[in-house]
Amino acid sequence: MTIAPDAPAYTGPIAHLTREDVEQLGRELDAIRQEVIDTRGERDAAYIHKVIKVQRSLELGSRAVLLASIFPPAFVVGTVGLSIAKILDNMEIGHNIMHGQWDWMRDPKIHSTVWEWDNASTAEGWKHSHNELHHTYTNIVGKDNDLGWGIMRVDEEQPWTPSSLFQPAMNFINMCIFEYGIAAYDLELGRVLRQKKKGRRPSAEWEMAAKKTVAKIRRQAFKDYVAHPLLSMIALSGPTTLVANLTANFVRNVWTHSVIMCGHFPEGVETFELKDIPEDEGRGDWYVRQMLGSANISGSKLLHIMTGNLSHQIEHHIFPDLPSNRYAEIAPKVRALFDKYGLNYHTAPMPQQVASAWHKVLRLSLPNGFMESTNVRNAPSQLGKLVKAVRGDNRTRRRILKEFEAAGAASIGTAV
């Protein structure tokens, strides 16, 4: 999608809209937001207090059960309970509190400025990378590091290189250790390492942030992998408690990674080029970018809670500071605006969204047009060309990539 600052109209999926349309859309979304702000109150406060109480009770109960985890039933019950508790802590509680969704309550214990979560990332680092950068530059290639976490090719306009072939494996590894991947991403570790190779020393501010992150990781590791297993040794359940904690953290990592993948990676979700974003991007333009750069997950109320209501990713990105329990309530109003202005409200069940996101990861690990132009009959020759593109010099690679792209376009045209 292009938002052309000097042109009278837009291009791409909003080409049918005028500037007046986009401005009016912004005003209508502002009205929805204000309606929620005007009606926030006891019902919302009771909700977040209840979720926190349930999460803490579930974690405490699960850890108590794991004291007897040498017995298989206790191991299973304790591990499942702890996994759910960690997911609730990160998704519906930590993520949303640190977004400032509950700051309006003026509760000194439930406030974005003081909340810390059960995660390797520090709250301070996460709020900078997520709230300030990701939500400001949503799906802008090169600016939004959440878009591929700096380890993946996420748009056809990005150059393909042989290293792109490894991105499905990299994404899988990232999923398994997601909390540590996010901690590294919050620190922009890749950028800092590249600068070090050029002889540039990290700033004192970065070194302080890195020390805080390492200290946080140590505390988390000590709690889950030393303190609680040692406590369980009283009942000879130390090793099984260690395995339970490892499993719970793994489950949390896979779940949160999957939810986040569903929010911005599925096929059909728009990405943007920085050059196409006007410097004076208006409120309506910003809303449209959030709307087209996000995708929802359809499902039950329990699913919505377990995703931190990021199953309503569209509503969350439009209104990141509204209480999460209100997203389901305003979703029909938001969807009605999509329909009114002829925009695609991207929503599907979680298995479908996860599959779509992984399909995109795999597709973009290959040259443009490769997947579209490859079939059972020509697969051997296509793979042979791909090997030549990997091993060949730059000139050979550019020629083969152009051939793949042209063949892919032809295949799509034939299918249509």
Identify whether the C-beta of residue 126 lies closer than 8 Å to the C-beta of residue 118.
no
Does 359 map to a domain?
A: no
- In whole angstroms, what is the distance from residue 147 CA to residue 140 CA? 8
Same domain, 295 and 394: no
**Residues 62, 75 contacting (CB under 8 angstroms):** no
On whether both 284 and 345 belong to a single domain, the answer is yes
Query: Structurally, how many domains does the chain consist of?
Result: 2
Residue 273: inside a domain, yes or no? yes
* Domain shared by 232 and 187, yes or no: yes
Residue at which a domain ends, from 308, 327, 352: 352
Residue 157 three-state SS: coil
Q: Are residues 257 and 385 in the same domain?
A: no
360 domain-assigned? no
My answer on whether 318 and 373 are in the same domain is: no
Return the pLDDT at 413: 64
The whole domain housing 330 covers 1-352
CA–CA distance, 190 with 148 (Å, rounded to integer): 13
Q: Are 99 and 323 in contact (CB under 8 A)?
A: no
> Is residue 239 domain-shared with residue 387, that is, in the same domain?
no
3-state secondary structure of 9: strand
pLDDT of residue 157: 86
What is the distance between the alpha carbons of residues 241 and 235, in angstroms, rounded to a whole number? 11
pLDDT at 138: 85
Residues 299 and 401 in one domain: no
357 belongs to a structural domain: no
Residues of the chain with pLDDT under 50: 1-8, 416
Picking from 330, 352, 374, the residue at the C-terminal end of a domain is: 352
| Residues 89 and 185 placed together within one structural domain of the fold | yes
327 and 376 part of one domain: no
Q: What is the pLDDT of residue 10?
A: 73
Strand partners, 212: none
Q: Does residue 389 share a domain with residue 256?
A: no
- Same-domain check for residues 187 and 127: yes
Residue 110 within any structural domain of the chain: yes
**Could you count the other beta carbons within 10 Å of the beta carbon of residue 236?**
12
Specify the DSSP class assigned to residue 165.
G
Residue 268 falls inside a structural domain: yes
118 belongs to a structural domain: yes
Residue 306 lies inside a defined structural domain of this protein: yes
At 300, the amino acid letter reads S
The reply to whether 314 and 376 lie within a common domain is no
What's the pLDDT score for residue 9?
56
Domain final residue pick, 352, 379, 396: 352
Tokens matching residue 266: 């599925």
How far is 416 from 410, CA to CA, in rounded Å? 10
